[in-house]
A and B are shown apart, each in its own frame.
Chain A
């Protein structure tokens, strides 16, 4: 069952490569939150109850509801245009994300650890690199945050694979989540979308001392 969820996660990464609109990105992030909820529920059923409830609450509340809704709110509030505006054509994005999944599959076969299972390693590595790829190929700051959220999901999956032995790793992953929330809040508080006409990175080049 875990494997099915992780394959769905990988498919959601491919879908992210061809998504045009910011709302689609947000829906994919919410879907990934649900998938992570399922995976952590199946994997972590043995750890102590309080910790389990905390982790499940974190995945279902923050990843699936709070962050997507808040991103939606930011997009509306700062009147950001709904297109993602990539630098590359979507066709090349899909090919590159497929290549990333292929590469992480090969890499996960080379790296063999006792604590890490291969499917987890594959999904985590693919998510980290696709997030990085989304960050460098999209113009807007909101999409950078979304790419960072994908990276964060990847780190969370990697920590889940070893969570039975070292539950502290999951908590470290959640710390990253809090950091992301601060980042999202930063965009919201500074109202970058209103200060500059378009919330694209090119405008940051004009900043001088």
Chain B
């Protein structure tokens, strides 16, 4: 039974980006593609051959696989309600964060491996943004761990409860911060525009310019999986433990759909920031997480 969350996240990843793109197209007055269109594109890419540059080394060949694998392993750690993930241990959210960082490291060095100046620029930006977003994630998970007194994902989410005003506020702020972190990590709108095709302003898209065929499909599918993964973390905040499966599965799917619609709507109404405004935006998320940490300290009465 511990694989329920894993299977649900994989299922969600099939239509997550589709819902997002559909929301954007409805807001801009178009009919838009069907919600499985991104998966069809990825399926088409899976049938294509890889083309490798002569100047790139073996790093470029293995990096997409490692990136994909790191995200798949990270998903296995996400619990589902009161069920543990496929593997779970004390302090696994630290492992989770650094597993994602390892995958990102490989995608960065593969971008540097191609020797293209644009890709190096994109890699540098990606490294900067994820470096700035990391404190926010750790402050948030650390304060949730402090609130519940456990240090693994499944224990944290199964013992979190919203019974007072301030814990509801903490839950709301936590989901707000998680939505923003997921938008940064997946290179979505306020920080990076996936639709832009000007090399000077791209962040994530410029890093995968040289990838083609199966590798490109893996990277694109990894993005979908990452979105569904963050959506699952957010949904876990609302899956109060002890709910039966026929309650928690619709709540999970509903939370994921709502998350996709929120991301799509905010992308429709927000213009992307200037490059120089991105770091301050990400630092602001860190500051909000710090406030969550203070609120938890205040709630527990644990002062320095």
Point out residues on A near B: beta carbons under 8 Å: 1, 3-4, 7, 10-11, 14-15, 17-18, 89-91, 93-95, 97-98, 101-102, 105-106, 109, 118-119, 122
Contacts and interface: CB of A to CB of B under 8 A. Distances in A.
A120 to B, nearest CB: 11
B304 A4 contact: no
B275 to A, nearest CB: 12
Contacts of B287: 14, 94, 97-98, 101
Contacts of A119: 298
Given A4-B169, A7-B291, A122-B294, 17 more contacts: A4-B165, A7-B294, A7-B295, A14-B291, A18-B280, A18-B284, A89-B276, A90-B277, A91-B279, A93-B280, A94-B284, A95-B283, A97-B287, A98-B283, A101-B291, A101-B294, A109-B303
A95 B135 CA distance: 13
A98 B290 contact: yes
B286 to A, nearest CB: 7
A10 B279 CA distance: 20
Interface centre among B280, B288, B295 (most CB of A within 10 A): B280
Interface residues of B, number: 21
B105 interface: no
13 contacts: A1-B165, A3-B295, A4-B165, A14-B288, A15-B284, A17-B284, A18-B280, A91-B279, A93-B280, A94-B287, A98-B283, A98-B286, A98-B290
Nearest to A106: B304
Chain B interface SS verdict (over half): helix
B51 interface: no
Contacts of B106: none
B288 A4 contact: no
Contacts, number: 57
Interface of B: 165-166, 169, 173, 276-277, 279-281, 283-284, 286-288, 290-291, 294-295, 298, 303-304
Task: Return the 6 tightest CB-CB contacts between A and B, nearest first.
Answer: A91-B280, A4-B169, A98-B287, A109-B303, A90-B280, A14-B287
Contacts of A93: 280
B190 to A, nearest CB: 12
Contact of A94 (B166, B283, B291): B283
A17 B290 CA distance: 16
B267 to A, nearest CB: 20
B288 to A, nearest CB: 6
A97 B298 CA distance: 20
Contact of A11 (B165, B286, B291): B291
Main secondary structure of the interface of A (DSSP, over half): helix
Contacts of A90: 277, 280
B298 A3 contact: yes
Nearest to A119: B298
Nearest to A97: B287
A3 B287 CA distance: 17
Contacts of A11: 288, 291
A152 B215 CA distance: 58
B290 A101 contact: yes
B290 A102 contact: yes
A54 to B, nearest CB: 28
Contact of A4 (B166, B277, B286): B166
Contacts of A3: 165-166, 169, 295, 298
Contacts of A7: 169, 173, 291, 294-295
Given A7-B169, A109-B304, A118-B298, A91 B290 contact: no
Nearest to B281: A18
Contacts of B290: 98, 101-102
A200 to B, nearest CB: 22
A95 B303 CA distance: 23
Given A7-B295, A119-B298, A14 B169 contact: no
Contacts of B295: 3, 7
